[in-house]
Amino acid sequence: MTDTRRDHRTARRLVAGAATLLLAVGGAVLGLAGPANAHNYLIASTPAVDGTLTALPKSFEITTNDKLLDIGGTGSGFAFRIVGPDGRYHEDGCVAIDGPSMTTAASLGASGKYQVEWQIVSADGHTVSDQYPFTWTAPAGFAAAKGSVKPPACAKSGSAGSDTTTGTASGSSDSSASDALFIGAGGIVVVGAVVAVLLLVRRRPAPAPDADDADGTDG
């Protein structure tokens, strides 16, 4: 009987420990997934999303809700591309970061539908990218730029706030949320297995008394 009580107390302690672990895993998941909802997001741009340009702006710009994370002032991890209707690139390859904004210069080609592709490093350290369309209506006498088949490299090497960017800045990107869910799922599986084992332990029948104990003899 003493062994049975001891087993039950042990099982209760282990169940309590498993519950504590489950709460800790849940807290970790929320802590990791939370920043995914705190990324910088676009609040203003030149040109505007789905807007129409009738004159070439001095610079193309996107502005987010928070300061951008430009470590070392090199522009590493940032990209700003202007893609024409023929798939050619019209930006100069350089980006400048100032607080919550990123700018680039571009020479547009013929009138038509263009695409802005941008990538930034959010204030929380995560890379965020997206794209949006705009329409270019060239003014009379405008000299259309030919554009480049490949994204151009920045010619201002060594200047602060600019950088040659590579890769494709398109589509929203975020890896922290999926990592958090994976970790959380693994933790829940482990905790579930522990709880299942503990339930089996609690249901284990008490050992039958020895024959000598049942007869009340000492042998």
* Span 42-91, pLDDT tens digits: 999 999 999 999 999 999 999 999 999 999 999 999 999 999 999 999 99
Backbone angles phi and psi of 56, in degrees to 5: -70, 120
Query: Could you tell me the pLDDT band of residue 38, with boundaries at 50, 70 and 90?
Result: confident
SS3 65: coil
In this predicted model, which residue has the larger pLDDT, 211 or 17? 17
**Who has greater pLDDT, 5 or 29?**
5
83 versus 176: the higher-pLDDT residue is 83
Q: Given the DSSP bridges, would you call strands 112-121 and 79-83 parallel, antiparallel or unpaired?
A: antiparallel
Q: What is the CATH number of domain 40-173?
A: 2.60.40.1220
The pTM is what? 0.59
Which pairs count as long-range contacts for 175-182, CB under 8 Å and 24+ apart, including other chains? 175/126, 176/32, 176/33, 176/35, 176/36, 176/126, 177/32, 177/33, 177/36, 179/32, 180/28, 180/29, 180/31, 180/32, 180/33, 180/36, 181/29, 181/33
Query: What is the CA 149 to chain-centroid distance, rounded?
Result: 30
**Residue 167 binned pLDDT confidence (cut-offs 50, 70, 90):** very low
**pLDDT(149) > 60:** yes
Distance CA 76, CA 33 (A): 25
Average of per-residue pLDDT across 191-207: 57
Instruction: Tell me what pLDDT residue 6 has.
Output: 61
Residue 183 has pLDDT above 90, yes or no: no
Using 50, 70 and 90 to split pLDDT, how confident is the model at 211?
low
pLDDT band at 102 (very low <50, low <70, confident <90, very high): very high
What burial class does residue 6 get, using C-beta atoms within 10 Å of its C-beta: 0-12 exposed, 13-18 middle, 19+ buried? Answer: exposed
Cβ atoms 176, 3 nearer than 8 A: no
- Please indicate whether residue 182 or residue 94 has the higher confidence score (pLDDT): 94
